[in-house]
Amino acid sequence: MADLLYFDNNATTKLAPEARAALEPFLGELVGNPSSAHNAGGRILHAVEKAREQVALMLGCETGEIIFNSGGTEGLNTAIENALDALPTRKQIIISKVEHSAVSNVVRPLARKGYRITEINVDRFGRLDLAQLNHEVGHETALIATLWANNETGVVAPVAEIGDMAKRAGAMFVVDAVQCPGKLKLDMKAQAAIDYLAVSGHKFHALPGCGALFVRKGTPYRPLIRGGNQERGRRAGTENVPGIVSMGAAARCINEHLDADIKRQTELRDMLQSGLLAKLDNVIVNGDEQSRLCNTLNVGFEFVEAEAVLLMLDAAGVAASSGSACESGSLETSHVLRAMGVPFTAIHGSVRFSLSRYTTAAEVGALVDSTVKIVRRLREISPFGREKPAPKKPGDLEAHKAYFATT
């Protein structure tokens, strides 16, 4: 079999060669606890602080605003708990209907503790209903927590506007930016309304098991993981030095090449999208094409089922993933696509392709060929889809409504 065509970078990414080279010494020769007084410990401490500089540069913040931790989930748990502690009298939490479970599964159970949970709707293109948000947010709101970029569709939220609303109401603002590094510019100085922001190493070519939480200077903070004095008393537990070093090196790559990487990934993603749309009918692009991560394409192939597409892609050496959780055994359709009101036909056949800086044009070409062949083959054996062509233009809401009203 040829090399694996990896189009599942929103799930996890391969380790950057630069990150591998940077962490290599820490797997053998360099031993020492950063907290120890001896020279070896000091050298390691130095490496951790160099990494912190790169990560701070990537986020556009100060080094003192970075807390290294185990990843996005820990960061979001910590941030949400801290935000609520900061405003103990306020009893409303606002999230969206399309959050990652690292936010929704933390927030929803708080209803039992007396919090009112408000989930903001999204439209057919995955865009947050800002009018509803504006209506809901108020002096009772303790916290707005939202994804900066959606993991399933890549839709980018207007964090500046959301942040303004949070600040006007005096609420805390927590942002899940796990999908963002290397795909869009993060600048915490410009985004002054963000109080907490979480990222995860393995999503941007560092090791899994490491992440960073940005906490704006002056924001109340109490550690979630308590114990030793690591991370200036903000996150106990001996540092994951190889992870942190790999994250520093990966952040450095982003700091040096971000604009070029975005341009390149956008071109390849667009090539993938136009290739599929040109060769296949009845393909629906899920998500707002005007505001979307440069590396993500979520498409619904009508009249076929996503798991079947993915398994055939897998047999052809392509790794992608489904917008839905079907592959994990649950029958539940994607909560994101459901919230967007994507028609059932397209939800069942929705597949997410996510690129990375390492994706090549040749890989995209091979992916288009494989996918077209597979979808055609599955449609050949499908009892549907030959009689009536669906509207071809992606995102044509009225045409879709008319079409599905008669199906």
Partner 1 sequence: MQYSEKISDHFLHPRNAGELEDATVIGEAGSLATGDAFRLYLRINSQDVIEEARFQAFGSPTAIATSSALTEMIKGKHVDEAVRLSTRDIAAYLDGVPQERMHAPVMGMEALEDAYAKYRRLETLDEDGQSARIVCRCFNVSHGRIERAIRDHHLSTIAEVTHHTKAGGDCNSCHADIENLLARARAERARAAEEERIRTARDNARKAQPAGGISDLQRAALIQEVLDREVRPGLAMDGGDMELVSVEGATVRVKLGGHCVSCSSSTATMRYFVEDKLRELVDPAIEVIDITEHGQELHAPPMR
Catalytic residue among 210, 253, 294, 326: 326
Mask for 339-368, x = binds partner 1 (CB under 8 A): -----xx--x--------------------
Within 375-404, which residues bind partner 1 (CB under 8 A)? 378, 380-384
Smallest distance, partner 1 to C-beta of residue 385, A:
8
User: Per rule CB under 8 A, is residue 307 in the interface with partner 1?
Assistant: yes
Judged by CB, which is closer to partner 1: 85, or 369?
369
Residue pair 55/247 in contact by the 8 Å Cβ criterion: yes
C-alpha span between 343 and 406 (Å, rounded):
13
Crossing angle (nearest 10°) for helices 241-279 and 361-381: 60
Nearer to partner 1, 225 or 325 (CB): 325
| Residue range at the interface with partner 1 (CB under 8 A); choices 37-45, 208-216, 248-256, 309-317 | 309-317
Residues 265-304 contacting partner 1, CB under 8 A: 303-304
Pair 320, 366: CB distance under 8 Å? no
| Closest approach of partner 1 to the CB of residue 124, in Å | 18
Residue 232's Cβ-count burial label (10 Å; 0-12, 13-18, 19+) is: exposed
Question: Which CB sits closer to partner 1, 216 or 348?
Answer: 348
Q: Which is nearer to partner 1, 70 or 104 (CB)?
A: 104
210 a catalytic residue: no
Scan residues 185-214 and list those touching partner 1 (CB under 8 A): none
CB 374 → partner 1: shortest distance, Å?
10
What Cα–Cα distance (Å) separates residue 103 from each residue in 74, 119, 211, 360?
10, 12, 16, 33
Query: Closest distance between partner 1 and the C-beta of residue 239, in Å?
Result: 37
Pairing label, strands 283-286, 296-301 = antiparallel
Position of tokens 């999204």? 122
How many residues interact with partner 1 (rule CB under 8 A)? 26
- Both tokens assigned to 135: 């209506």
Nearer CB in complex with partner 1: 50/338:
338
The correct pick among 49, 123, 267, 332 for binding partner 1 (CB under 8 A) is: 332
Least CB distance to partner 1 at residue 307 (A): 5
Q: Using CB under 8 A, which of 81, 129, 305, 396 touches partner 1?
A: 305
Using CB under 8 A, pick the residue from 15, 194, 326, 351 that binds partner 1: 326
Q: Which has the closest alpha carbon to 75: 191, 280, 247, 215?
A: 215
Separation CA 84–CA 80 (nearest Å) = 6
Q: Determine which residue in the list 191, 200, 333, 370 makes contact with partner 1, applying CB under 8 A.
A: 333
Q: Pick from 37, 329, 362, 398 the residue near partner 1 by CB under 8 A.
A: 329
Alpha-carbon distance values, 227 to 10, 67, 237, 347 (Å): 33, 15, 7, 46
Quote the least distance from Cβ 49 to partner 1, whole Å.
44
Judged by CB, which is closer to partner 1: 37, or 405? Answer: 405
Q: How far is the CB of 341 from partner 1 (least distance, A)?
A: 14
Catalytic annotation, residues: 326
Positions that interact with partner 1 (CB under 8 A): 303-305, 307-308, 311-312, 315, 326-333, 344-345, 348, 378, 380-384, 407
